[in-house]
Amino acid sequence: MPAPFRILFLSAEVAPFAKTGGLGDVGGSLPKALRALGHDVRVVMPAYQAIETDYYAGRGGLVARPGGLLVPVRGATVSAGVFEGRLPGSDVPVYCIAQRSLFDRADRYGYGDDAYRFGFFSRAALELATVLGWQPDLVHAHDWHAAPAVAWLATAGQGDDRFRGLASLFTIHNLAHQGRAPWDIWDYLGILTHGLVEEGYGQVNFMARGIYHATLINTVSPTYAREILTPAGGAGLDGLLRFRHFDVHGILNGLDYHVWDPAADTSLAQPFSADQIERRAANKAALQARAGLSPRPAVPLVAMVSRLDWQKGLDITGHVIHLLLNNYAGEAQFVVLGSGAAEYESMLAHLAGYHTDRMAAFLTYDADLAQLIYGGADIFIMPSRFEPCGLGQLIAMRYGCVPVVRATGGLADTVQDLVTGFTFNGYSAGDFWQALQRALYIYSADRDSWRALQRNGMAADFSWQRSARGYQQLYDWAVARVRGQA
């Protein structure tokens, strides 16, 4: 058992304070699991508009840290506020960096000055450790937003006694989002650069910098960790990743079993457990009613809950749903919950309009409805082009909803064909349709096998405890490396 570590944990998203996708789930759950292993983890995130509003309204249990922070940027110091709270259900401290000109905006991302916003956040998080009178053993930075902290530590930070020799772990959640910045971001952060990483003219790539400078690197599943070393999966950074391939690891994300518990889920019409799977029927009926579909218990109900993004395989989904609802020999129903790209929203709206009696499309974000879908649908589809880890399939399995997934990234690592779900390999509507037909056949023809698939999925262990031990191992190696023991 390694010594407990002091870990400064930087993430742009931390559920429940701010969540867009899987990054937020990890930011909110992994620190608690690390704390349970005895580590002293302190989480830092930006104080987005909703957090500022909550603070001033006295919600969210946040208090202001007297004195705030002074952050050295562009050769001067800029002040920032610090709201302090706890991750719900734990004693893990969360610090939100408040700077109204940067973070008090309607959206979290998507602004022309994002590089400066997250550069400031990263630099502020490091200064915060000093203000807390707390010396971390390791900085754990997540995705491109926190990469400047890693780059600063490995360059300018080496000239600062407080930070010299500090280990870092850089976690890649999605290589598709890399963070581009103009070159003068390094002046802004006080980093002298000599073109260490090949980057486009006039541009810095934050993700590349994180990969280049971190003591160790990991991503969120073993298969994705291998895929990103190839030109097909490397999103332009595979050469750099191969250069560091001895230091690239894969650790599956876990699921917060307190949050995702079908036996205690108040969003369900009827809670249930693996011993009483038949109780799911009430959720299926509630979902059919909510979706305006006929209340037929035996008809297979297929579902999707997803960001509507190119990554998620919506084009082949369009073909397959049309086949399912038009040509499938038996009958089937389909419910989709998702928001995102206009082209996919309109495709799904069209399909739902055409198949009104068999399909419903909820083109929005709705956490409660998502839970009812996981707890009520029979089959969950996730035909991703690539998937770093994926949480949808883990939640579906936990809720007895059998996944049909493309065997890529974390989907390949978590869904076992004919044991916990159905998988297919090629990215094509034909392969996807075959896998879905296999699922539909077993659903209709072999109830015992179907129950076994549901039970196996519900019993699978994707807890954070398991993943946290993987992170502990990486911390151990990274700290040993910088201390010259490895």
List contacts with ligand ADP (CB under 6 A): 21-22, 305-307, 337-339, 365-367, 370, 389-392, 395
Reduced to 3 DSSP states, what percent helix, strand and coil does the chain have, rounded to the nearest 5? 45, 20, 35
In sequence order, which residues have a C-beta less than 8 Å from that of residue 138 and are 6 or more positions away?
Answer: 5, 6, 7, 8, 166, 167, 168, 169, 475, 478, 479
Q: How many CB atoms lie within 10 A of CB 27?
A: 26
Residue 318 one-letter amino acid: G
What sign for the dihedral angle of Cα 265, 299, 421, 27? negative
* Number of residue whose CB is nearest ligand ADP: 21
CB 380 within 8 A of CB 392: yes
SS3 410: helix
| DSSP 8-state code for residue 136 | -
357 bridge partner residues: none
Minimum gap (Å) between residue 326 Cβ and ligand ADP: 25
Minimum gap (Å) between residue 181 Cβ and ligand ADP: 23
Peptide bond into 182 cis (omega under 30): no
Which residue lies nearer to ligand ADP by CB, 8 or 396?
Answer: 396
Which residue lies nearer to ligand ADP by CB, 151 or 291?
Answer: 291
| DSSP 8-state code for residue 289 | H
Which residue lies nearer to ligand ADP by CB, 22 or 93?
Answer: 22
Minimum gap (Å) between residue 26 Cβ and ligand ADP: 9
CB 17 within 8 A of CB 96: yes
β-pair type (76-86, 93-98): antiparallel
Minimum gap (Å) between residue 364 Cβ and ligand ADP: 6
Minimum gap (Å) between residue 173 Cβ and ligand ADP: 7
Minimum gap (Å) between residue 372 Cβ and ligand ADP: 11
Q: Which of 326, 122, 336 is nearest to 214 (CA)?
A: 122
Which residue lies nearer to ligand ADP by CB, 191 or 251?
Answer: 251
Which residue lies nearer to ligand ADP by CB, 185 or 301?
Answer: 301
Which residue lies nearer to ligand ADP by CB, 119 or 179?
Answer: 179
Minimum gap (Å) between residue 418 Cβ and ligand ADP: 22
Minimum gap (Å) between residue 94 Cβ and ligand ADP: 20
Measured distance CA(212)–CA(214) in Å, rounded: 6
Measured distance CA(154)–CA(98) in Å, rounded: 25
Which residue lies nearer to ligand ADP by CB, 176 or 486?
Answer: 176
Minimum gap (Å) between residue 92 Cβ and ligand ADP: 21
SS3 345: helix
Which residue lies nearer to ligand ADP by CB, 167 or 305?
Answer: 305
Minimum gap (Å) between residue 186 Cβ and ligand ADP: 30
Which residue lies nearer to ligand ADP by CB, 365 or 427?
Answer: 365
Q: Which of 452, 457, 296, 317 is nearest to 375 (CA)?
A: 457
Which residue lies nearer to ligand ADP by CB, 8 or 305?
Answer: 305
Peptide bond into 16 cis (omega under 30): yes
**First-residue to last-residue Cα distance in the chain:** 17
5, with CB counted inside 10 A (0-12, 13-18, 19+), is: buried
